[in-house]
Chain A
C-alpha cells in the first residue's frame, strides 16, 4: 500500500504550486493568447465557480451515480468470480485463456458496439466502465486467494469447519487486502471510462457531455475547469481508499513488513 507522509505531501504541494505560478506568470507575460487559452488563475476560479453552478452539478451528479453503480456492479461480479477462480484451480485453468484474450481489449473500442446494444445511456456507460474496471479486481482477488496460507485454511478445517466456512472466515479476510487494492485501481479506471464514454457517445447529462458542450461554445476555461475537478475527484477517491486500506489492513502491512 502506498504510504503518504507529511513531508512528501508537502513537497508535492510545493512542486504543484510552483508549476502553477510559473504558468500563470508565463501567461501574463504573453507566452500565449490568453483570449484563446485562459490563464491558470482564470481556470482555477472557474473550477471553483463550477462547484456551485447548478447546470454543472446536475452533470456531476449524473457522472457520480454512473461511476458508483459501475463500481458496485464491478465488485459484485469480480469479487465472487475471483474467489471462485482462486479456490477452484480447474475453473481458473478453464477460464484463463478467455481472460487473457478479453483483458487487453480496450474498453473504449467497445463503445460503438455497446451503443448499438443499449438504448439507455446510463446502462451503456456502466457497461463500458465495468468492462475496464473488472480486471484489476478479478486478477487481484484471484491473486489474494492464492496468497492465503494453506495452513490457515487447514487449521479451520481441523476444527471441523466446512469449505463454505473456510472460504468466508479465512479466504475472504485473508484475500481482503488484495481485493481492496483491486477495488482502488478499479475506482480510478471507472472514472476515466465514465467520462470517456460521455465524451464519445454523448447524451444529455454527465461531465463528459458538459465538457463537449463547453468545447462547442469555445469555453476553454470551463472545459479545463471541469477537467481539473474530475482529476481532483480521482485524487480524493484514491486518498480515501488508501487511508481505509491502511486502517483496515494494518495486520497485512505488519506482516509484510516483518517478512521483508
Chain B
C-alpha cells in the first residue's frame, strides 16, 4: 500500500536521507530503526506530506503523495506538544474527525470509544496538562485510532515515557492495531522495541540514512513482554539488528531467518 522510491531529502546542503526504497503491504507492522540523527523523522515527515522531499517519490496505493494524504495519522514522540492544551481529552481525540464530516454527537461518540480502547474512558473530561505522560500519549494514540487511518505513522512514540508505560503502550498498540487491521510504520531508535513490535524491521544506516537491512520477524504470537523477549529467535534477531544499526557486517542467514541487505 505504501511504496518509497529513491526517497531523498537534503536540508540546504545537508543530506538527511539518501535514496530510501521501501514497500509496505496492507496490514503490515513495519519498524524502522536507525541511529539517532539518521533521518528517521525526515523520512516520516516526507511520507506524511509535512515536508516535500527533494528527491524520489512516495506512493500510497500506487498514487504519488502530494501534500498531506487522506487516511493517514501520525503519533509524535512529543505528546505534550502535539495535544492541544485548551481542549479536553475527548475534544482532542474528536478534532480530526471534523475531516470525516461527522457531527458533534458522532465525533464525541467515536472519541469516547477510542478513549475506552486505550483505557482512558474515565479521563475523557481531563485536560492534557492534568494527565501523566503515559496518559497523554494514550490520548494521542486514541486520536489516531478514532480517525481510523489506513496508515498509521509513529515517530518514536514511546521515547518519552517510563519503561513500564512503554511496555504497556507497545502492547496496546499491537492489540488495537491488529483489531483495526491498520498498516503501521513505527520509527524507533530502540533495537529491542523494533523487534518486539514489528512484523518486519527495516534498518537505516547512519546519516545520510538509507536502507541497510530488511528483516522479517518470525516470532510466535501473541507477543508477550516477558516470554517473547526471552525466545532464542528474539535474542538472535535483536543481535542481528543491533549489528546492522551499528554499521557492522551482518551474519548472513546463519540463524535461519532471512537477512536481506541492500
To the question of whether A and B form a pair in one complex, the answer is: yes
> Hey, which bits of chain A sit against chain B, CB under 8 A?
149, 151-152, 154-161, 165, 169-170, 173-174, 176, 249, 251-252, 254-255, 258
Residue in contact with B82 in the complex, picked from A155, A160, A255, CB distance below 8 Å: A155
Q: Is the CB of B76 within 8 A of A151?
A: yes
With A158-B68, A159-B68: A152-B73 Cβ-Cβ less than 8 Å: no
CB-based contact A173/B84 at 8 Å: yes
Closest Cβ of chain A to B64, distance in Å, is: 16
Contacting pair B127 A157 (CB below 8 A): no
User: Residue B99 contacts which of A149, A161, A251 (CB distance < 8 angstroms)?
Assistant: A161
Contact at A157–B84, with CB atoms within 8 Å? no
User: Contact at A258–B95, with CB atoms within 8 Å?
Assistant: no
Known contacts A169-B95, A251-B129; is-contact A158 B81 (Cβ 8 Å):
no
Q: A173-B86, A251-B127, A255-B129 in contact; A159/B96 too (CB < 8 A)? A: yes
B50 interface hit (Cβ, 8 Å): yes
Contacts of B74 in A (CB 8 A): 155, 158-159
Closest to B85 in A: A251
Q: Is B170 an interface residue (CB 8 A)?
A: no
Residues of A within 8 A of B153 (CB): 158
Q: Which B residues form the contact surface with A (CB < 8 A)?
A: 45, 48-50, 68-70, 72-74, 76, 78, 81-82, 84-86, 95-96, 98-99, 127, 129-130, 147, 153
Tell me whether A255 and B85 are in contact (CB under 8 A).
yes
CA distance A155 to B147 in the complex (A): 13
Count: A-B pairs, CB below 8 Å: 63
Q: Does the CB pair A157–B78 fall under 8 Å?
A: no
Using A151-B78, A258-B129 as known contacts, say yes or no to A158 and B84 having CB atoms under 8 A apart: no
A151 near B50 with CB under 8 A, answer no
- The answer on a CB contact under 8 Å between B81 and A152 is yes
CA distance A5 to B211 in the complex (A): 60
Complex: A102 Cα to B96 Cα, angstroms: 42
Shortest B114–chain A CB gap in Å is: 14
Residue from A149, A158, A170, A252 in contact with B49 in the complex, judged by beta carbons closer than 8 Å: A158
> Least Cβ distance of A146 to chain B in Å?
15
Q: Name the contact of B69 in the complex, choosing from A149, A160, A173 (C-beta under 8 A).
A: A160
A-B contact pairs, 17 of them (CB 8 A): A151-B81, A155-B76, A155-B82, A156-B95, A158-B48, A158-B73, A159-B72, A159-B96, A160-B68, A160-B69, A160-B99, A252-B85, A252-B86, A254-B85, A254-B127, A254-B129, A255-B129
A150 CB, nearest partner CB in chain B, Å: 8
A162 to B67, CA, bound (A): 10
Set of chain B residues within 8 Å of A176, measured between Cβ atoms? 86
Q: Do residues B82 and A151 form an inter-chain contact, with CB atoms below 8 A?
A: yes
Per the bound structure, the CA–CA distance linking A151 and B44 in Å amounts to: 14
In the complex, how many angstroms separate the beta carbon of A258 from the nearest chain B beta carbon? 6
Given contacts A159-B96, A159-B99, A160-B68, A251 and B86 within 8 Å (CB-CB)? yes
Contacts of A174 in B (CB 8 A): 84, 86
Chain B residue at minimal CB-CB distance from A169: B95
Q: B204 to nearest A CB, angstroms?
A: 21
> How far does the Cβ of B177 sit from chain A's closest Cβ, in whole Å?
18
B-chain residues with CB within 8 Å of residue A161 when the two chains form the complex: 68, 96, 99
Beyond known contacts A152-B81, A161-B68, A255-B129: 13 more, CB 8 A cutoff: A149-B81, A151-B78, A151-B81, A158-B72, A158-B73, A158-B153, A159-B147, A160-B70, A161-B99, A169-B95, A173-B86, A176-B86, A251-B127
A238 to B96, CA, bound (A): 37
Q: How near does chain A come to B205, taking the closest CB pair, in angstroms?
A: 26
Q: Interface centre among B50, B85, B95, by most A CB within 10 Å?
A: B85
| CB closest residue in chain B, given A176 | B86
Nearest-CB distance from B140 to chain A (Å)? 9
* CB nearest neighbor in B for A251: B85
State the Cβ distance, A218 to closest chain B Cβ, in Å: 55
- B93 smallest CB distance to A (angstroms): 12
| Cβ distance B182 to chain A, nearest Cβ, rounded Å | 15
- CB closest residue in chain A, given B149: A159
B84 to chain A, nearest CB (A): 7
Measured between beta carbons, the chain A residues less than 8 angstroms from B72 are 158-160
